[in-house]
């Protein structure tokens, strides 16, 4: 223990670091003068000293002597820095601070009541709402506004009660209070009922805020008002209407359909939406909302406008989403631009095309466009064109992929060609089978198509195994790896011996692929014949580069012998092996796997414990709560932090236990994680978003 005297000595120093250390000593001091010294330090000239005083005050929660002292600056201090520090610290005293402030409020002046409202709002205590409701009727207007703002903050804890209080404010005649209440609701992402908002539209001071709130009512009756405001001009209300239309449309399909019909019937309205999109100097939020409406519009004009935004990083994501919504029109717009695009834009356009859902009616058109790109063969766009071919291409593109499978082709392009061939083979199996056989058994197309189809190309599977075994002698490692991956899908006992041979390959990626194949290959009766090879290898190999993928592969076999081997590895002193064993155990179908995961919780490496805990909770759910609570007391702070983050996944988590952990925690990162978890759990339990059930079209 340290004494308050030691602290006072350091606080008398002219050096701010000495004073900061003096404040830190108070955390271990007996009560005595510590509270008075601590609160006095909150008025220090150096912000670091004040911040340290706040930290110590919070660390001492729920110390009654500190709480009592923190209340004094409300009436005895004019020091702004001290008052701000007191507010920050006092808020963490929770229900105790709320009760103390309720008793003191009658003696506070207007400035002190305003600060008290801020503390109450930050306290995250439902009990604070009663005092704040009283402050909403305070004689001082600034206090009332502070109380309204604080009620909105507490909406994260009890949204229903906060909404009720804020709606009461809306009945007042002073528009300033109504504006504060609506803004508070906006921060919470909620809104009062449509009828209440409709009555506030006439006030010009409130109009734009009311319009913005209409988007959060999720009431289709708001649509005509929003459309009228948007059509009326580019002022604040028009911009608010644009944002509200996008918000409402994203949530209510009936509204989205109605917006679409309105836009389809009015080219002028589409032009207005497009003008927001094209305003490069405009607010990004407005451009994003306008892009959403373009996506809804079913307009080829809007589609052309959207495509032009793909190279603007500020709105590129929203532009791509809009093109997806436009469907066929979006793809056609992209194809038109691809045909004339400069090289620097072509790759971006092709990548976007590869991420858009295919429209089979456009298969021939897309294939012709992509074929043109493949024939030109520019290196950068080529990979993206192959990715797009995998998604949108037709059977006619399969043969066009063969030139890009050669050993002299750049690795990234070759991989993209292989991926495209695999995808097209799954869609057009007979065409792919004929083209692969025509290319010959020494072609990379043969194993690629076998792997994609999960079936041999020849009538006798042993013939395919023989071809693939020959490919393992190729000088090209990509070909050898493809042969291994093809062997993995063939139900043939002879494939096991060939894969065992591939374990001796000079390239590690081929060896690793062979290990994975041994975990995947199945005999005719469905058994994992590669399990024995993997178990023998795990017992003999020392290099992690092979041992770790072998462990993963053993997990995939789901063989009855695997659990005993893996359970011995979860406690390996080599973390990589233990981590791999936990991942492998997690995919086993046996119920006894949880015993292995529980064993891993005692591992000396924190990363191993964290992975085991996550896997255990995924399998056990609420039944894993005792293990979660154990990890919240783990000696390693990083495990405690991770356990705090995972606590939000358990519905039956003990909130009181989490609060106890928070009070006792000394590491800031863990405290922050516990606070976030408590906040999420409390919000989840209190949020009640009410929606008007009306789905009737507006007149």
Q: What is the pLDDT of residues 558-590, one digit of tens each?
A: 888 888 999 999 999 999 999 999 999 998 876
Average the pLDDT over 191-216 and give the result: 91
3-state class (DSSP) for residue 699: coil
How far is Cα 655 from Cα 94, in angstroms, rounded to an integer? 15
Q: Residue 45's CB: how many other CB atoms inside 10 A?
A: 9
Average pLDDT, the chain: 90
Residue 508 CB partners (closer than 8 Å, separation 6+) = 545, 546
pLDDT at 691 over 80: no
Residue 464 CB partners (closer than 8 Å, separation 6+) = 450, 456, 457, 458, 486, 490
Residue 209 CB partners (closer than 8 Å, separation 6+) = 179, 182, 183, 186, 240
How far is Cα 52 from Cα 59, in angstroms, rounded to an integer? 10
User: Which residue in the block uniquely carries the two structure tokens 């005792």?
Assistant: 626
**Token pair for 423:** 């995808």
Q: CA-based Rg of the chain, rounded to a whole angstrom?
A: 33
How far is Cα 166 from Cα 545, in angstroms, rounded to an integer? 61
Nearest to 421 by CA among 393, 442, 440, 441: 393
**What distances in angstroms separate CA 171 from CA 168, 204, 296, 444, one per listed residue?**
6, 16, 37, 75
Contact 445, 405 (CB under 8 A): yes
How far is Cα 611 from Cα 622, in angstroms, rounded to an integer? 17
| H-type alpha helices, 541-687 | 544-557, 562-569, 575-586, 593-600, 606-620, 625-632, 637-646, 655-664, 668-686
Phi-psi region of 192 (alpha: psi -120 to 50; beta: other; left: phi over 0): beta
How far is Cα 66 from Cα 73, in angstroms, rounded to an integer? 12
Residue 251 CB partners (closer than 8 Å, separation 6+) = 218
Query: Cα–Cα–Cα angle for 349, 352, 353, nearest 5°?
Result: 85
**Token pair for 209:** 């805020």
Tell me which range, 486-495, 524-533, 685-694, is most confidently predicted by mean pLDDT: 486-495
CA-based diameter of the chain, in Å? 95
Average the pLDDT over 505-511 and give the result: 92
**Token pair for 398:** 């399969």
Residue 434 CB partners (closer than 8 Å, separation 6+) = none
Nearest to 613 by CA among 630, 592, 636, 591: 630
Q: What is the DSSP string of 423-458?
A: HHHHHSHHHHHHHHHHH-TTSTHHHHHHHHHTS-SS
Note the pLDDT tens digit of each residue in 204-215: 899 999 999 998
How far is Cα 326 from Cα 318, in angstroms, rounded to an integer? 12
**Token pair for 399:** 């043969």
The pLDDT, as a whole number, for residue 686 is 59
Q: Is the peptide bond before 62 cis (omega within 30 degrees of 0)?
A: yes
Note the pLDDT tens digit of each residue in 127-137: 999 999 999 99
Going through 118-167 in order, the beta strands assigned E by DSSP cover: none
Average the pLDDT over 41-64 and give the result: 92
How far is Cα 80 from Cα 187, in angstroms, rounded to an integer? 27
pLDDT at 690 over 60: no
The pLDDT, as a whole number, for residue 234 is 62
Determine if the pTM surpasses 0.75: no
How far is Cα 197 from Cα 211, in angstroms, rounded to an integer? 8
**Residue % of the chain over a pLDDT of 90:** 69
**Token pair for 121:** 């709002």
3-state class (DSSP) for residue 312: coil
Contact 505, 493 (CB under 8 A): no
Fold of 394-523: 1.25.10
Residue 342 burial (C-beta neighbours within 10 Å; 0-12, 13-18, 19+): exposed
Nearest to 368 by CA among 344, 387, 394: 394
Average the pLDDT over 366-389 and give the result: 91
How far is Cα 352 from Cα 387, in angstroms, rounded to an integer? 10
pLDDT at 409 over 70: yes
The pLDDT, as a whole number, for residue 688 is 38
How far is Cα 631 from Cα 336, in angstroms, rounded to an integer? 57
pLDDT at 319 over 80: yes
**Token pair for 389:** 């071919």
- Of 247-251, 399-403, 474-478, the poorest mean pLDDT is in 247-251
Nearest to 212 by CA among 285, 152, 118: 285
- Of 60-64, 220-224, 265-269, 489-493, the poorest mean pLDDT is in 489-493
How far is Cα 206 from Cα 229, in angstroms, rounded to an integer? 14
Nearest to 4 by CA among 33, 27, 24: 33
Q: Which residues pair with 43 in a beta bridge?
A: none
The pLDDT, as a whole number, for residue 694 is 43
- Of 483-487, 609-613, 684-688, the poorest mean pLDDT is in 684-688
**Token pair for 346:** 């072509």
Average the pLDDT over 431-444 and give the result: 94
Residue 548 CB partners (closer than 8 Å, separation 6+) = 576, 577, 580
The pLDDT, as a whole number, for residue 75 is 83
- Helix%, strand%, coil% for the chain, nearest 5: 75, 0, 25
Average the pLDDT over 660-668 and give the result: 92
Contact 677, 647 (CB under 8 A): yes
How far is Cα 31 from Cα 212, in angstroms, rounded to an integer? 52
pLDDT at 697 over 70: no
Contact 695, 223 (CB under 8 A): no
**Token pair for 330:** 């979006």
**Token pair for 275:** 């003008």
Note the pLDDT tens digit of each residue in 8-34: 889 999 999 999 999 999 988 876 788
**Token pair for 627:** 């293990």
């Amino acid at each position: 223990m340290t004494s308050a005297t030691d602290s006072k000595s350091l606080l008398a120093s002219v050096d701010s670091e000495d004073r900061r250390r003096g404040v830190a000593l108070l955390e271990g001091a007996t009560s005595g003068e510590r509270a008075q010294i601590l609160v006095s330090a909150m008025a220090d000239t150096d912000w670091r000293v004040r911040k340290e005083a706040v930290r110590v005050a919070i660390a001492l929660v729920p110390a009654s002597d500190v709480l009592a002292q923190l209340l004094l600056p409300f009436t005895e201090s004019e020091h702004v820095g001290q008052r701000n520090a007191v507010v920050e610290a006092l808020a963490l005293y929770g229900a105790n601070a709320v009760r103390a402030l309720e008793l003191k409020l009658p003696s506070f002046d207007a400035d002190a009541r305003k600060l008290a409202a801020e503390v109450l709002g930050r306290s995250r205590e439902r009990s604070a709402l009663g005092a704040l409701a009283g402050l909403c009727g305070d004689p001082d207007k600034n206090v009332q506004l502070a109380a309204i703002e604080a009620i909105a903050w507490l909406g994260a804890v009890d949204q229903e009660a906060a909404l009720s209080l804020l709606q009461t404010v809306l009945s007042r005649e002073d528009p300033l209070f109504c504006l504060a209440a609506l803004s508070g609701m906006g921060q919470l992402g909620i809104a009062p009922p449509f009828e209440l908002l409709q009555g506030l539209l006439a006030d010009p001071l409130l109009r734009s805020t009311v319009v913005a709130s209409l988007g959060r009512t999720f009431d289709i009756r708001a649509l005509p008002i929003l459309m009228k405001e948007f059509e009326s001009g580019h002022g604040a209300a028009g911009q608010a209407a644009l944002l509200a239309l996008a918000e409402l449309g994203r949530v209510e399909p009936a509204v989205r359909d109605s917006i679409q019909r309105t836009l389809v019937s009015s080219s002028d309205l589409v032009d207005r939406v497009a003008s927001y999109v094209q305003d490069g100097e405009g607010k990004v939020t407005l451009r994003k909302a306008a892009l959403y409406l373009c996506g809804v519009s079913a307009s080829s004009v809007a589609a052309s406008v959207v495509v032009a935004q793909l190279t603007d990083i500020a709105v590129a994501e929203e532009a791509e989403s809009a093109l997806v919504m436009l469907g066929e029109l979006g793809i056609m717009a992209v194809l038109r631009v691809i045909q004339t695009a400069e090289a620097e834009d072509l790759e971006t356009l092709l990548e976007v095309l590869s991420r858009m859902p295919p429209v089979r009616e456009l298969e021939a058109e897309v294939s012709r466009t992509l074929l043109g790109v493949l024939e030109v063969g520019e290196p950068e766009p080529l990979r993206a064109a192959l990715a797009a071919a995998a998604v949108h291409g037709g059977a006619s593109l399969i043969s066009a992929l063969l030139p890009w499978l050669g050993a002299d082709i750049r690795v990234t392009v070759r991989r993209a060609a292989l991926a495209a061939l695999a995808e097209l083979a799954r869609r057009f199996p007979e065409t792919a089978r004929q083209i692969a056989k025509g290319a010959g058994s020494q072609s990379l197309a043969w194993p690629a198509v076998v792997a994609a189809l999960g079936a041999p190309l020849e009538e006798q599977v042993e013939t395919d195994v023989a071809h693939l075994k020959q490919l393992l002698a190729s000088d090209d490692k990509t070909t050898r790896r493809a042969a291994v991956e093809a062997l993995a899908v063939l139900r043939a006992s002879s494939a096991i011996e060939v894969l065992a041979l591939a374990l001796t390959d000079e390239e590690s990626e081929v060896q690793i692929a062979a290990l994975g194949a041994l975990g995947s290959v199945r005999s005719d009766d469905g058994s994992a014949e590669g399990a024995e090879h993997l178990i023998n290898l795990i017992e003999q190999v020392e290099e992690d580069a092979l041992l770790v993928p072998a462990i993963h592969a053993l997990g995939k076999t789901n063989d009855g012998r695997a659990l005993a081997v893996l359970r011995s590895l979860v406690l390996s002193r080599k973390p990589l092996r233990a981590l791999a064993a936990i991942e492998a155990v997690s995919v086993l179908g046996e119920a006894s796997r949880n015993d292995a995961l529980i064993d891993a919780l005692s591992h000396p490496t924190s990363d191993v414990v964290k992975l085991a805990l996550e896997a255990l909770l995924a399998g056990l759910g609420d039944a894993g709560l005792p293990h979660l609570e154990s990890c919240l007391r783990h000696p390693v702070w990083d495990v405690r932090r991770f356990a705090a983050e995972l606590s939000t996944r358990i519905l039956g988590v003990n909130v009181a236990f989490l609060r106890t952990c928070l009070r006792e925690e000394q590491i800031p990162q863990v405290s922050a994680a516990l606070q976030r978890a408590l906040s999420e759990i409390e919000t989840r339990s209190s949020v009640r978003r009410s929606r008007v059930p009306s789905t009737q079209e507006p007149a």
